[in-house]
């Protein structure tokens, strides 16, 4: 958020701002694809610890004197941070599969939703914590504090995590990073379009629209999006309660289809309201709230399904491939967000978002069903 608003203030175009994030997202694609194979080879504790160490290094790169913080240097630190983040996320999501009994899918869904939701709620809290640390400690002090705290977490992780968690019994060849089942491929494709649909209007277009068209100041934009992400994470955490059915069935492809179809309507309705100048601020705020709730549920459903469908031996291979598609969707959405907003405005971004979600829904038709949940 700070990067978006800072470079917009410097006069960068929306497309140029979007391109600042391309390095981060490209490395996310590569990391998830290769990280899954590394997790199966080395064990999830090692990929987790590598990620934590890389994040400390990325933070340390920002401790150089301010005059040396050139854009290429900051982009390189972002790229390293992207590698670190995705190694950690892939490792954590994969580990849940191994910590829950295979016949207890209800518990698996609950824990996946809790992990996913808490991660995003903390991300939202980071907007406010970052601002507070910046005010109290300054840029260098805030970065140094984060590096020290994360280094302590890394040390605890080295000491306490199980040594061979997630290491595949049969070592997969490197080519196995592309060898996926039909179910994993369709779920990954659905994830790509789902997250492309969010970022095509949320990453660049929305903050710039709030600043340029609605006249919001930077603090208002950061606060709103921070609260939005926290709420989004909370809804993700309670998704198992929201999606619970009377018959006791666990979510399956049909569940993903129905929730995606409902979500696809929201960006289209917001676009229609903006095109007809129907209370732009109110329409956008109401639409964002509904979109956030529905998107959070869709995201939790997908996160549960990939962990459920993944092969237990070498689980990180399937989950790494899936989150590679997630990162690819974010990359496509980020670039489109800047370009579409620049040439056609926020309404075009919203129409593309609706189309992407509809494609994700179609992909869900190919997903299998679960058996009814045991008592």
pLDDT of 371 strictly over 50: no
* Confidence label for 317 from pLDDT (cuts 50, 70 and 90): confident
For residues 335 and 18, the answer to whether their CB atoms sit within 8 Å is yes
Nearest to 323 by CA among 188, 166, 145: 188
Q: Any idea of the CA torsion for 351, 357, 363, 364, to the nearest 10 degrees?
A: -150
- Burial class of residue 329 in the structure, from the number of CB atoms within 10 Å of its CB (0-12 exposed, 13-18 middle, 19+ buried): buried
Residues 146-165: what's their mean pLDDT? 87
Nearest to 355 by CA among 192, 193, 179: 193
Instruction: Give every CB contact of residue 163 below 8 A, 6+ residues apart in sequence.
Output: 43, 45
Look at 20 and 98; give whichever has higher pLDDT. Answer: 98
pLDDT, residue 375, reads 32
Nearest to 314 by CA among 162, 112, 166, 187: 166
Tokens of 363: 């992909």
For residues 253 and 365, the answer to whether their CB atoms sit within 8 Å is yes
Residues 60-85: what's their mean pLDDT? 84
Write the pLDDT tens digit of every residue in 257-275. Answer: 999 999 999 999 999 999 9
What domains lie within the chain, and their CATH numbers? Answer: 2-364 (1.20.1250.20)
Write the pLDDT tens digit of every residue in 171-221. Answer: 667 666 665 688 999 999 999 999 999 999 988 899 889 988 888 887 788
Question: What percent of the chain has a predicted confidence (pLDDT) above 70?
Answer: 88
> Cα(95)–Cα(43) distance, rounded to whole angstroms?
10
> Cα(305)–Cα(301) distance, rounded to whole angstroms?
6
pLDDT, residue 73, reads 85
**Beta bridge mates, 249:** 372
Write the pLDDT tens digit of every residue in 6-25. Answer: 667 667 777 677 776 777 77
DSSP code at position 4: H
Give residue 223's Cα distance to chain centre: 19
State the average pLDDT for the chain. Answer: 84
Residues 276-283: what's their mean pLDDT? 92
Nearest to 23 by CA among 52, 49, 50, 58: 58
DSSP 3-state assignment of 82? Answer: helix
Residues 112-121: what's their mean pLDDT? 86
> Cα(251)–Cα(302) distance, rounded to whole angstroms?
9
């Amino acid at each position: 958020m700070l990067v978006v608003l800072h470079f917009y203030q410097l006069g960068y175009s929306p497309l140029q701002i979007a391109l600042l994030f391309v390095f981060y997202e490209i490395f996310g694609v590569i990391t998830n694809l290769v990280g899954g194979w590394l997790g199966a080879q080395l064990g999830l504790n090692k990929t987790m610890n590598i990620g934590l160490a890389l994040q400390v290094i990325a933070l340390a790169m920002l401790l150089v004197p301010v005059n040396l913080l050139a854009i290429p240097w900051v982009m390189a630190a972002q790229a390293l941070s992207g590698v670190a983040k995705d190694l950690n996320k892939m490792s954590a999501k994969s580990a849940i599969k191994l910590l829950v009994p295979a016949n207890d899918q209800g518990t698996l869904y609950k824990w996946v939703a809790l992990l996913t939701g808490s991660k995003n709620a903390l991300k939202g809290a980071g907007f406010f914590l970052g601002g507070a640390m910046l005010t109290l400690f300054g840029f260098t002090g805030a970065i140094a504090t984060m590096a020290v705290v994360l280094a302590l977490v890394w040390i605890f992780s080295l000491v306490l995590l199980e040594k061979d968690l997630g290491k595949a019994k049969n070592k997969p060849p490197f080519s196995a990073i592309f060898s996926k089942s039909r179910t994993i491929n369709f779920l990954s494709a659905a994830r790509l379009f789902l997250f492309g649909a969010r970022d095509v209007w949320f990453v660049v277009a929305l903050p710039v629209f709030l600043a340029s068209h609605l006249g919001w100041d930077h603090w208002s934009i950061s606060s709103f999006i921070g609260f939005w992400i926290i709420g989004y994470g909370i809804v993700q955490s309670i998704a198992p309660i929201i999606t619970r059915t009377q018959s006791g069935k666990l979510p399956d492809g049909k569940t993903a289809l129905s929730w995606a179809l409902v979500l696809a309507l929201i960006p289209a309705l917001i676009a229609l309201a903006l095109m007809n100048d129907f209370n732009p601020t109110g329409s956008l705020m109401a639409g964002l709230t509904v979109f956030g709730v529905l998107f959070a549920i869709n995201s939790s459903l997908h996160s549960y399904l990939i962990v459920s469908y993944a092969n237990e031996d070498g689980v990180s291979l399937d989950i790494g491939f899936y989150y590679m598609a997630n990162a690819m969707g974010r990359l496509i959405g980020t670039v489109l967000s800047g370009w579409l907003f620049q040439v056609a405005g926020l309404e075009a971004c919203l129409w593309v978002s609706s189309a992407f979600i509809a494609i994700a829904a179609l992909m869900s038709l190919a997903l299998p069903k679960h058996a009814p949940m045991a008592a």
